[in-house]
Each structure stands twice: as C-alpha cells, then as structure tokens.
C-alpha cells in the first residue's frame, strides 16, 4: 500500500464504517418508536419508500442481465435481511440482537471461497474467530434472556447480508451506473418482495402516531438510503471480505445506544466481548500478502470483478 493510496483506502473504510454504526441504532428505534410486533411492515416501510425516492432521483433502471441480478441482490440484501433483522430486533435486547450480526464475516469468508474462488487468508480466518468469540461473550454469558426465534433470525439475517455483500462485489455495477442507483434498485426490489408477505402475514397496516412516523423517516432516510449508499460504495472499492468485518461495529453501537438511552445493563464480560468484536473488526481490515502475489486488490484500486460479470 503506497502513501498516495493509503488516505483513499482509509477514507473509504471510515465512511463505510458509518453504515454499521448507524445500523446499531435500528434496534433502539424499533423497540422504542415503532408499532410493536410488526417486523414485516417495518421492513417494508424502511425499504420501499426509500427505494422509490432513489429511483426517482437517479432515473436509471436495470436492463438485460441486470434485471435478474438486481432481483437477487435486492432479495438477499433487503427482502430477506430486513424482515429477519426486525424480527430479531423485536424479540431480543438491542445489544444481543446487534451482536448476532458479528458472525457475518464468517459467512462472508465461506461465500467468497465459493463465489469468488478466494481462499480465506489466515489473518481473516483468525479475525472471524475473534468476532465469534466476541459474540459468545455477549450472547452466551449475558444476563439477557435469549429467544430462540430471535437468535435464529439474527443469524439467518447475517448470512443473507454476507451472501448479498459477496455477490455485490462479484457482479460489480453496470457501466455508467453509480452506487446510488444500485441502492435504489435493491431497496425497491426488496420492498416489493416484502409487501405481499406483510399483507398476508400481518394484515392491514397499523395506525401510526407521530413518533412512529419519525422513526420510519429516520430509518428510511438515514438508516437506509444514506447508509446503504455508503455500504455499496464501500463494497465497490474495498474487498467484500474486508467490508463485511465492519459489521462488527453494529453490536458495539447498539450496545452503547441501549446503555445510554434505554438503561440496558452491561456486565463486565459483555464489555470485554464488545472489545473483542472491535479487535476482530480491525484485524479483518489488514490485507494479507504473499511474496510476489497479492490475495486482495491494491488499496485504492477498483475492486476485482470476474471476467464473466
């Protein structure tokens, strides 16, 4: 990594890291401001309005092979991930729900090995284990009572996000299409995927008061449109298996917000667990290099996209 490219690489990581930090606030907003027990409606309200606004702003639609690719990415990154995220948020304390996302790097390393033919480096494998240790310290030893469905939803959501992140890098973007348009495509597809499920499973939309409207506006504008634009921008510039380690910041953010605003207690062991998760985040950003070769794109250069993309 040269001196000239380091600021660009570090700056991209710093901006992308804002996304999981913002995502950490999702749990407090969901439990404190939004209608109770409506994970599908909440996922729909977070995705579809933001997606339609971005489509109107960018005025770019997918075509050709990107019709199918946008559909797959939209379902994985939004249509499946959002409902599972909110199901976990409704059934688990914020710190516990957030920390389950820390296993996403493990899933991402596996998906990258299969979809990108990238063998996980020793350092990133260790970083993934460190993240899992942090998860175990918080979830398995915490004082909060665990809900099996909530835990399953959190883990499945992490897997869906990891798969979508790796595929986003594998396929890249169509020529001339920016990350804002790609974000709009995926949010719209994901919202349309969720809409019939929400109607059939949860019925008519609930009545919304002022704080619920404010919560949905925050999630749609800050937690979705802006956050996902930064996320997909980061994936286009930094290896997906590095970006996904930033997800470890989400439980740290969720726990701090829960502690400050909701009075949720943290044990000493949980605090250690969050520190371990943060260490895994940092370790996951260090490129692995072999003499004469490089297993990762040069910092600051465009992310590698397979020839068949």
| Cα 146 from Cα 88, distance rounded (Å) | 11
pLDDT band at 298 (very low <50, low <70, confident <90, very high): very low
Q: What's the pTM?
A: 0.79
Calculate mean pLDDT across residues 136-158. 73
| Cα 3 from Cα 287, distance rounded (Å) | 15
Write out the two tokens for 187: 């949010």
Tell me the sheet residues that pair with 290. Answer: 293
Nearest to 74 by CA among 181, 233, 223: 181
22-38 pLDDT, tens per residue? 888 887 888 889 998 89
In a domain? residue 114: yes
189-220 pLDDT, tens per residue? 999 999 999 999 999 999 899 999 999 999 99
| Cα 21 from Cα 256, distance rounded (Å) | 10
Read off φ and ψ for residue 293, nearest 5 degrees. Answer: -140, 170
In a domain? residue 38: yes
| Range from 127-136, 157-166, 169-178, 184-193 carrying the lowest mean pLDDT | 127-136
3-26 pLDDT, tens per residue? 344 457 778 888 888 888 888 888
236-275 pLDDT, tens per residue? 888 877 888 887 777 777 777 777 776 666 677 777 877 7
State what percent of residues in the chain have pLDDT above 70. 82
Q: Please, what is the average pLDDT of the chain? A: 80
Q: Would you state the pLDDT for residue 257?
A: 78
Q: Would you state the pLDDT for residue 151?
A: 84
Nearest to 224 by CA among 34, 38, 43, 47: 47
**Please, are residues 197 and 75 in contact by the beta-carbon 8 Å criterion?**
no
Q: Total structural domains in the chain?
A: 1
Q: Would you state the pLDDT for residue 4?
A: 40
Q: Would you state the pLDDT for residue 46?
A: 92
In a domain? residue 72: yes
**Can you give the residue range of the structural domain that contains 27?**
6-294
Q: Would you state the pLDDT for residue 220?
A: 92
């Amino acid at each position: 990594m040269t001196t000239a490219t380091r600021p660009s690489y570090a700056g991209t990581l710093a901006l992308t890291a804002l996304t999981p930090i913002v995502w950490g606030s999702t749990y407090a907003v969901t439990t404190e401001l939004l209608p109770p027990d409506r994970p599908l409606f909440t996922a729909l309200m977070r995705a579809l309005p933001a997606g339609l606004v971005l489509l109107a702003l960018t005025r770019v639609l997918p075509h050709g092979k990107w019709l199918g690719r946008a559909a797959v990415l939209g379902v994985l990154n939004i249509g499946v991930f959002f409902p599972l995220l909110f199901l976990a948020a409704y059934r688990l304390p914020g710190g516990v729900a957030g920390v389950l996302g820390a296993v996403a790097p493990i899933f991402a390393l596996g998906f990258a090995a299969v979809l990108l033919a990238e063998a996980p480096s020793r350092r990133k494998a260790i970083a993934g284990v460190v993240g899992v240790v942090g998860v175990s310290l918080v979830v398995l030893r915490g004082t909060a009572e665990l809900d099996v469905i909530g835990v399953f939803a959190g883990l499945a959501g992490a897997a869906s996000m990891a798969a979508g992140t790796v595929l986003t890098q594998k396929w890249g973007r169509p020529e001339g299409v920016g990350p804002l348009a790609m974000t709009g495509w995926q949010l719209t597809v994901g919202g349309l995927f969720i809409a019939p499920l929400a109607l059939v499973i949860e019925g008519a939309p609930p009545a919304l008061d002022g704080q619920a409207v404010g919560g949905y506006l925050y999630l749609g504008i800050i937690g979705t449109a802006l956050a996902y634009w930064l996320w997909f921008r980061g994936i286009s510039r930094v290896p997906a298996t590095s970006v996904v380690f930033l997800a470890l910041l989400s439980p740290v953010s969720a726990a701090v917000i829960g502690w400050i605003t909701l009075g949720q207690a943290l044990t000493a062991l949980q605090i250690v667990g969050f520190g371990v998760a943060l260490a895994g985040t940092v370790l996951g950003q260090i490129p692995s290099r072999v003499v004469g070769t490089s297993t990762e794109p040069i910092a600051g250069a465009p992310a590698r996209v397979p020839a068949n993309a």
